[in-house]
Amino acid sequence: MSEKLNPESIPKFESVELNVQPRLKETWEDFLKHCGPYAIALDGRVIGPTKRDFDLPAVNLNHHEGVDRTSTAVTSEQVLTEIRLGLFNTFKKDGKPFVKLFVEDCDEDVSTSVALFEMYCEDPKLLDNWKVNQLVEIENRLDMSAGMYPMNHELETLAQLRWVYEPYRLARRQGKISTMDGNGMAEIIQEISNRIRKFTEAKAEQIPLDGRYEVLGGGDGWSMVKEIGSDARVKMVGDGIKALLSVAEIKTADGEESIWKYTLARMSSWIKFPLPDLFKYLNEQESIALGNSDCWGGSDLSGGSPKTSHSKISPQKIESLLNYFLLEFYKK
C-alpha cells in the first residue's frame, strides 16, 4: 500500500455526508425511524433487498440478502444507474444535490459507491468517462461472483484495479477490518476514491497478481482454504475450485483463545453448495437466535460467520459439520 492517507487531506464534499458505522446492520423499518431525509444505506448496512421511500426520501441499495445474486446488480452498479436515471431530481437540499450515506464496511463495492456519489456532486460530467463504466462493470462481475468470475487477470486494466482497491485488500489480509473503527474505514474509502479518480484519468499504478492460497481440507465438490494473496480466489478458479470455505484465525483480546472468521462462497447457483441452508444450519450449531443480526448469513453465492463475534467452531469441526450436512441435504 502506498503512503497512508492523512485524515486532514481527506476531501470534504458538502453534498455528501458519509456515516461509517462498522458492522452495524438493521432492518429497513428501523433505519427509517432515525435516518432522516436524504438517507441512502449501502451494500448491507440495511438488511434486505433494494427499497425506496419516495416521501422521506430514503433508499436502501443492496445486493446481498433476499436476492438472486447472479441476476442482481452489485451496489455500485445500482448507484450508477440510480444517479443516471434521476435520483438527484429528488435528493436535493436548497436546490443542490445532497445525500447522507450510511455504510458498515469499506470494501470495494462500498468504496466505489461512495466515490460515484462524490464524483457526481463535484461535477456530473465526471461520470461520463468511459473508464467509470469499465470500472463498475468489472466490479459488478467480480463482486457478484465473490471474486470467482473467470477473467484474464493478466490484463493491464485488472492490474490497475488491484492497485485501486489495494488499501482495503491489504487491511483485510492483515486481519484489521473485523475490529477497525469508523475513522479507519473512512480513510480507506477516501483513499480508494482518490485512486478511482486516478484510474479514470489514466494515471493508475499497477499491482501484479498474487494468487497464493493453501488447501486445508474440504469435501465432495468444495475446498477449505486459507487465502494468502489478495487474488487467491482467481487462482482457485483456475485450479478448478468452484465452492469454498475460507478460514482466517483471530486471537481474542487476551491472546489466549482463537476464534474464527469464515467465508463461504460458490461460483454460481449451479454449483451444489446451498449457502442459505448452510447459514441456517451453522446458526443452529452455534445457538444463534433467529433475529440476531450478528449471525451466519449472506446471499445465495457468498456470506459467512458473524461479523462481530465470529465463530467458536474450529476448522476441523466445521469441516466435519459441512460434510455431514451436505451428505444429508443431497440425500433428499
250: number of Cβ within 10 Å: 14
Per-residue buried b or exposed e for 206-238, using 16+ beta carbons within 10 Å of the residue's own CB: ebeebbebeeebbbeebbbbebeebbbbbbbbe
Same domain for 266 and 307, yes or no, is: yes
In a domain, 143, yes or no: yes
Q: What is the pLDDT of residues 160-195, one digit of tens each?
A: 999 999 999 999 988 899 889 999 999 999 999 999
Domain shared by 162 and 267, yes or no: no
Backbone phi, psi, residue 53, to 5°: -115, 105
Contact between 122 and 13 under an 8 Å Cβ cutoff? The reply is yes
Q: Are residues 178 and 218 located together in one domain of the fold?
A: no
Regarding whether 113 and 42 lie in a shared domain, the answer is: yes
pLDDT at 257: 81
Residue 154: the pLDDT is: 82
Q: What is the pLDDT of residue 314?
A: 96
Residues 42 and 128 grouped into a single domain: yes
- Residue 293: the pLDDT is 85
The bridge status of strand 243-251 relative to strand 258-266 is antiparallel
Q: Is residue 1 in a domain?
A: no
Q: Are residues 228 and 193 both part of a single domain?
A: no
Asked, for residue 206, whether it belongs to a domain, the answer is no
Domain boundary among 141, 168, 200: 200
Q: Which of 175, 200, 225 is the last residue of a domain?
A: 200
- In this structure, the answer to whether residues 186 and 249 fall within a common structural domain is no
Q: Please indicate, yes or no, whether residues 179 and 77 belong to a single structural domain of this protein.
A: yes
Other beta carbons within 10 Å of 56: 14
Q: What pLDDT was estimated at residue 78? A: 98
Question: Do 219 and 193 lie in a common domain?
Answer: no
Residues 240 and 124 in one domain: no
How many structural domains are present in the chain?
2
List the chain residues with pLDDT less than 50.
1-11
Which range marks the domain in which residue 282 is found? 213-329
Question: What pLDDT is stored for residue 226 in this prediction?
Answer: 97
Secondary structure class of 108 (helix, strand, coil): helix
In this predicted structure, what is the pLDDT of residue 251? Answer: 79
What is the model's pLDDT at position 12? 53
Residue 308 lies in a domain: yes
| 207 falls within a domain | no
Give the residue from 171, 200, 229 where a domain finishes. 200
**Helix, strand, or coil here: 238?**
helix
Q: Are residues 231 and 116 in the same domain?
A: no
DSSP run (H or E) holding 51: strand 51-53
* The amino acid at 94: D
Say if residue 81 is in the same domain as residue 108. yes
Q: Could you tell me if residue 205 is inside a domain?
A: no
102: left (phi over 0), alpha (psi -120 to 50) or beta: beta
Provide the 8-state DSSP code for 230: T
- What distance in Å separates the CA atoms of residue 324 and residue 90, rounded to the nearest whole number? 52
Is residue 2 situated within a structural domain?
A: no
- The domain that holds 249 is classified in CATH as 3.10.310
pLDDT at 6: 39
Q: Is residue 174 part of a domain?
A: yes
